[in-house]
């Protein structure tokens, strides 16, 4: 199999325009004859559903939540990047492109990233027209802040609820199309299989999570916007319902999975407090704009923060990275936090935390300014920990936050399976090995509002599809295989809960496929995961049946998929012996302990082809070609 | 600590429901309320019994998925807090709590503590948007919006659609939810074109869904996890009469 990225020729800045012109169109009168399935209603899925509905396609939209408005994009706090240069501080499309490519440690496709930077400006215009209440200056213009490693202020925000406001904007647009009858929405549905006919993605099998019934839906094309796989680690900042199932089942039907080892660990999360914790809460990294990260200079210093004098504090990010200070990219900040904790200088009861201190910011700006900027985050922190961050420094520790890897897609966001398009976090395409802050919202909306309307039209206009109904044998086969798997889970009647097995898998992945990875640990993980998977199928406990609302059955199905997916995650991490971005191989570091890339051997996308559970998948490589930028060792000194 | 729970169990939308008693043992004060329930459920599953069905997703208080009555108060006793963000340190050893789903004609029970809130989607479908298609927007800074106006719009837009307002209201009115969206959009220049039709259509839909009328009890504001103000309802009423009189 050769992976054709379909990146258009020509100068970088003209690729997208010339590609749009070269793409085929679907006549407005013909669009109503075509049906598109969109799975997921986060920023990518909801924006795609509304845009395609507006154009006149029949859209079928599915989500696992009880309303599309609850998709996990809603939890994004900090902001959305756009190359507007409203602040006159030297930003440009090229600079956003360059920062994103560099931030991703040169493991993303140039053309995709440039397009992302180009359409970023349209996103802000679109959202404002929808009535998204972005923060404003007193003069009435939009406010911006600098965010996560950027030296320009290009981040737009709505308090600490930017994801919520952007998602509600997209959701409302989508509801408008529901009212017009252009979009039919199916909440409480979980996609459990992809249906291929003549090699094309033509439909899905979903389980109605309220009635338990399996349902079949047919379309001309399928778009997955089902998010990332961070919950494989059990504890993550993802919603507890986020999962890998839709992507994984598509992978088992032939879609290649790219760069699964590129996972992002977010540096500022509230530390783990106990065994029964169900998730980790992220504190927006905008906090690092004014908060200062420190630990005691001496190991084992158990004094209260207030009792440790300035001279005995180590503001290690400011010390090691004077030009970026507390604003170094997420991977660098996370690894340094791990390092100081490994040295025994961590704080709090567990010793697995660093301080994020606002004392200086409150002195410099005053309590009110700090409260205006971060008030809701401080409140959230106090609710969870019972400590007041205005008087006691916050405790922070890194946690799994985002998946840069995902299903392989070409420049048109289409996977190697014709008709199967993948949008947002579920694809692998734009963030390389590390995503910059405030870029996830940008990518989700770019894919849904401004890319897929063009590329999907091109696919539909240029592709002949057989006229089929859901009575086709391929639907029967897929539904039967889904039913068999559900029956198999229910038949085990064991004694271990899905949560226990998930927690075990999560701990294993965090220890051996987490912030720092090495050959021995990865091999250990690869040996342990199949045993855990076997234990699941021998001993999982799922009371009740499949014919009604059964949360534990849903969860068990997802855990079963994590247990297959985890092996691919570890294998990809083992195969990539270089360090890059969020993937840190201990064997590959600079003398200063920074990630050491190996461009000679790893300047490629690793796209894996499924060969069966427990069988070694086949690796396909898409070489990364850099025509515009010259990969260099990232330095934030 | 030990917490005694009296939980509404109902096998399905048409099934007969009843309260069942459970005890949560070894509850740590650091746990969230839902984590405490997770542990109770783990125990039930290990005994081969079906877990208490409750819904949650982000567990950060922003998605609006979770929510049930804790001893008569939506989301429990802590102000401005969803039940996923309610921590057990707010309770004491031996407390006895009653857990019930939202009770409203507009929110039929699906199972145990889970209700169907799709009526909220239909209220938004009636007009909770600006009718702009993707692609044609002018530059975002072309229309200036005063900071105070933007902030006021954000105050209303912060609603998470959890339904606590309906659950708290003796009339099961959805006025706070509906008015928050109406206020958000009526404050902004982008919402002006459809200002009149929006309020008329959304209010009509709200009534059709079986929610009761607002009689200014203020219970909704008191339990709203996002602190959405009762003033939104006053705005909605003003907008409504303005639209009626000018139509």
Determine contact, residues A49/A421, Cβ cutoff 8 Å: no
Q: What is the mean pLDDT of each run of 10 residues along chain A (637 residues)?
A: 95 98 97 98 98 98 98 94 97 97 95 98 98 97 86 93 97 98 98 98 98 98 98 97 98 98 95 90 89 96 94 96 89 91 93 96 95 87 93 96 98 98 97 94 98 98 97 98 98 97 97 96 98 98 97 98 98 98 95 91 98 97 96 81
Which of A278, A353, A373, A449 is the best residue to mutate to test the B interface, defined by the most B CB atoms within 10 Å of its own CB? A278
Q: What residues are paired with A427 via a beta bridge?
A: A407
The Cα B62–Cα B56 span in angstroms is 11
- Report the gap between the CA of B85 and the closest CA in chain A (Å): 7
Question: Is A268-399 the same fold as A12-262+404-461?
Answer: no
CB contact under 8 A, A543 and B51: yes
List the beta strands (DSSP E) in B84-168: 96-100, 109-111, 114-115
Alpha carbon distance A219, A195 (integer Å): 10
- Please determine, looking at this structure, whether the domain spanning B3-100 carries the CATH number 3.10.20.30: yes
**Complex prediction ipTM:** 0.98
CB contact under 8 A, B146 and A140: yes
Distance between CA A544 and CA B202 in Å, rounded?
A: 40
Interface contacts (A, B; CB < 8 Å)? 233
10 Å Cβ neighbour count for A121? 17
Instruction: Say yes or no for a CB contact (<8 Å) between B140 and A124.
Output: yes
Q: How far is CA A80 from CA A128, A441, A446, A566, A587, in A?
A: 13, 6, 11, 30, 35
According to DSSP, the residues that pair with B120 across neighbouring strands are none
Chain A residues touching B85 at Cβ < 8 A: 380, 383-384
CATH, range A268-399: 3.90.700.10
> Which residue, chain included where needed, has tokens 């440009």?
A92
Asked if B126's CB is within 8 angstroms of A179's CB, the reply is yes
DSSP letters, B31-91, are: SBHHHHHHHHHHHHHHTTPPPPP---SSSSS-S-----EETTEET-SSTT--GGG-BGGGS
The CATH classification number of B118-132+146-246 equals 1.10.1060.10
Residue among A402, A336, A327 nearest A595 (CA): A336
Q: What is the pTM of this model?
A: 0.97
Which of A131, A383, A453 comes nearest B190 by C-beta? A131
Chain A residues in contact with B111 by the CB 8 A cut-off are 548-549
Beta partners for B212? B173
Distance separating the N- and C-terminal Cα atoms of chain A: 42
How far CA A222 is from CA of A39, A55, A255, A423, B224, in Å, comes to 8, 17, 12, 11, 38
Residues 6+ apart with CB under 8 A from B155: B228, B229
Question: Does B150 sit within 8 Å of A134, measured CB to CB?
Answer: yes
Note whether B138 contacts A551, CB cutoff 8 Å.
Answer: no
**The predicted structure's pLDDT at residue A383:** 87
Domain boundaries, chain B: 3-100, 118-132+146-246
Radius of gyration (C-alpha) of chain B in whole angstroms:
20
Place of tokens 């010339």: A18
- Interior/surface letters B204-239, b for 16+ CB within 10 angstroms, e for the rest: ebbeebebbebeeeebbbebbbbebbbebbebbbeb
Q: What is the pLDDT of residue A593?
A: 82
B139 contacts A127 by C-beta, under 8 angstroms: no
Domain A12-262+404-461: what homologous superfamily? Answer: FAD/NAD(P)-binding domain (3.50.50.60)
Measured between alpha carbons, how far is B138 from A176 in angstroms, rounded to an integer?
21
CA pair distance A609, A121, nearest whole angstrom:
36
Question: Among residues A455, A412, A441, A453, which one has the least CA distance to residue A54?
Answer: A453
CATH topology for A493-598 is Methane Monooxygenase Hydroxylase; Chain G, domain 1 (1.20.58)
Strand A35-39 with A263-269, pairing: unpaired
Please list the ranges in chain B whose pLDDT falls under 50. none
Report how far residue A96's alpha carbon sits from residue A154's, in angstroms, rounded to the nearest whole number: 9
Q: How many Å apart are CA A50 and CA A440, to the nearest integer?
A: 19
CA B206 remoteness from chain centre: 15
Concatenated DSSP letters for A240-295? Answer: TT--SHHHHHHHHTTPPEE-TT-EEEEEEEPPP--TT-----B--GGGGGT-EEEE
> Which among B60, B124, B139 has the least Cβ separation from residue A175?
B124
Kindly state the greatest CA–CA separation across chain A: 75
Tell me the C-alpha to C-alpha distance, in Å, between residue A83 and each of A15, A98, A118, A137, A515: 18, 11, 8, 18, 31
| Cβ separation B30–A273 shorter than 8 A | yes
Give burial (CB, 10 Å; 0-12/13-18/19+) of B118: middle
Task: Indicate the DSSP class of residue A303.
Answer: S
Residue carrying the six token digits 């961070």: A230
Considering only CB atoms, A172 lies closest to which of B34, B46, B128, namely B128
Given this model, what pLDDT does residue A285 score?
Answer: 83
């Amino acid at each position: 199999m050769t992976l054709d990225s379909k990146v258009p020729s020509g100068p970088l800045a003209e690729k997208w325009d010339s590609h749009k012109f070269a793409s085929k169109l679907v006549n407005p009168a013909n669009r109503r004859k075509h049906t598109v399935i969109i799975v997921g209603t986060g920023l990518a899925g909801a924006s795609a559903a509304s845009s395609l509905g507006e154009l006149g396609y029949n859209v079928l939209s599915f989500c696992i939540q009880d309303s599309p408005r609850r998709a996990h994009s809603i939890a994004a706090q900090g902001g959305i990047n756009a190359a507007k240069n409203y602040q006159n501080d030297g930003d440009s499309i090229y600079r956003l492109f360059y920062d994103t490519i560099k931030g991703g440690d040169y493991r993303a496709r140039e053309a995709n990233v440039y397009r992302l930077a180009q359409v970023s400006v349209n996103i802000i215009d679109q959202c404002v027209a929808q009535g998204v209440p972005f923060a404003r200056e007193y003069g009435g213009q939009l406010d911006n802040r600098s965010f996560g490693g950027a030296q320009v202020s290009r981040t737009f925000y709505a308090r600490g609820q930017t994801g919520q406001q952007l998602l509600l904007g997209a959701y409302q647009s989508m509801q408008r199309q529901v009212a017009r009858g252009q979009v039919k929405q199916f909440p409480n549905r979980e996609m459990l299989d992809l249906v291929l006919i003549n090699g094309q993605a033509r439909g899905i099998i979903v389980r109605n999570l309220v009635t338990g019934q399996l349902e079949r839906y047919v379309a001309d094309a399928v778009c997955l916007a089902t998010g990332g796989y961070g919950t494989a680690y059990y504890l993550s900042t993802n919603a507890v319902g986020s999962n890998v199932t839709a992507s994984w089942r598509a992978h088992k039907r032939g879609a290649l999975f790219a760069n699964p080892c590129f996972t992002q660990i977010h540096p500022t999360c509230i530390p783990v407090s106990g065994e029964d914790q169900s998730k980790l809460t992220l504190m927006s990294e905008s906090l690092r704009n004014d908060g200062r990260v420190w630990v005691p200079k001496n190991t084992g210093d158990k004094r209260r923060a207030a009792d440790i004098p300035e001279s005995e504090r180590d503001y290690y990010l400011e010390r090691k990275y004077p030009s970026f200070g507390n604003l170094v990219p997420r991977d660098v900040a996370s690894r340094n936090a791990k390092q100081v904790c490994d040295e025994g200088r961590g704080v709090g009861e567990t010793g697995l935390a660093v301080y994020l201190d606002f004392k200086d910011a409150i002195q410099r700006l005053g309590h009110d300014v700090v409260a205006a900027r971060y008030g809701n985050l401080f409140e959230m922190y106090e609710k969870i920990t019972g400590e007041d961050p205005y008087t006691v420094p916050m405790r922070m520790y890194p946690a799994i936050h985002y998946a840069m890897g995902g299903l392989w897609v070409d420049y048109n966001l289409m996977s190697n399976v014709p008709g199967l398009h993948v949008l947002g976090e579920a694809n692998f395409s734009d963030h390389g090995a590390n995503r910059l802050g405030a870029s996830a919202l940008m990518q989700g909306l770019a894919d849904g509002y401004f890319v897929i309307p063009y590329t999907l039209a091109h696919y539909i206009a240029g592709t002949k599809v057989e006229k089929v109904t859901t009575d086709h044998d391929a639907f029967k086969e897929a539904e039967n295989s889904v039913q068999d798997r559900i029956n198999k889970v229910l038949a085990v009647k064991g004694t271990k809960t899905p949560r226990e097995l998930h927690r075990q898998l999560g701990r294993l992945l965090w220890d051996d496929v987490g912030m720092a990875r090495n050959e021995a640990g990865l091999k250990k993980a690869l040996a342990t995961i199949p045993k855990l998977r076997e234990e699941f199928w021998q001993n999982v406990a799922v009371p009740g049946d499949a014919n009604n609302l059964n949360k534990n059955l849903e969860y068990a199905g997802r855990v079963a998929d994590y247990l297959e997916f985890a092996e691919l995650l570890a294998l990809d991490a083992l195969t990539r012996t270089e360090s890059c971005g969020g993937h840190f191989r201990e064997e590959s570091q600079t003398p200063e302990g920074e990630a050491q890339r190996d461009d000679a051997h790893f300047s490629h996308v690793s796209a894996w082809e499924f060969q069966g559970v427990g069988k070694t998948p086949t690796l396909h490589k898409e070489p990364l070609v850099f025509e515009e930028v010259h990969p260099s060792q990232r330095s934030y000194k | 600590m030990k917490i005694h729970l009296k939980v509404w169990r109902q096998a399905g939308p048409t099934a007969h429901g009843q309260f069942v008693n459970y005890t949560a043992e070894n509850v740590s004060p650091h746990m969230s309320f839902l984590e405490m329930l997770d542990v109770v459920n783990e125990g039930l599953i290990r005994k081969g019994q079906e877990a208490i069905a409750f819904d949650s997703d982000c567990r950060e208080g922003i998605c609006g998925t979770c929510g049930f009555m804790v001893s008569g108060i939506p989301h429990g006793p802590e102000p401005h807090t969803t039940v996923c963000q309610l921590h057990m340190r707010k309770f004491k050893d031996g407390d006895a709590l009653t857990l019930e789903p939202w009770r409203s004609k507009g929110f039929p029970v699906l199972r145990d503590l889970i209700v169907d809130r799709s009526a909220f989607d239909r209220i938004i479908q009636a007009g909770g948007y600006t009718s702009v298609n993707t692609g044609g927007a002018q530059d975002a800074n072309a229309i200036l919006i005063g900071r105070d106006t933007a902030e006021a719009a954000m105050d209303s837009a912060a609603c998470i659609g959890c339904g606590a307002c309906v659950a708290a209201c003796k009339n099961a009115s959805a006025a706070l939810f509906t008015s928050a969206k109406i206020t958000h959009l009526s404050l902004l220049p982008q919402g002006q074109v459809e200002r009149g039709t929006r309020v008329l259509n959304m209010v009509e839909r709200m009534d059709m869904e079986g929610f009761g009328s607002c009689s200014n009890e203020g219970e909704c504001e008191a339990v709203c996890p996002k602190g959405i103000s009762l003033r939104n309802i006053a705005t909605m009423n003003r907008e409504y009469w303005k639209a009626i009189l000018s139509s």
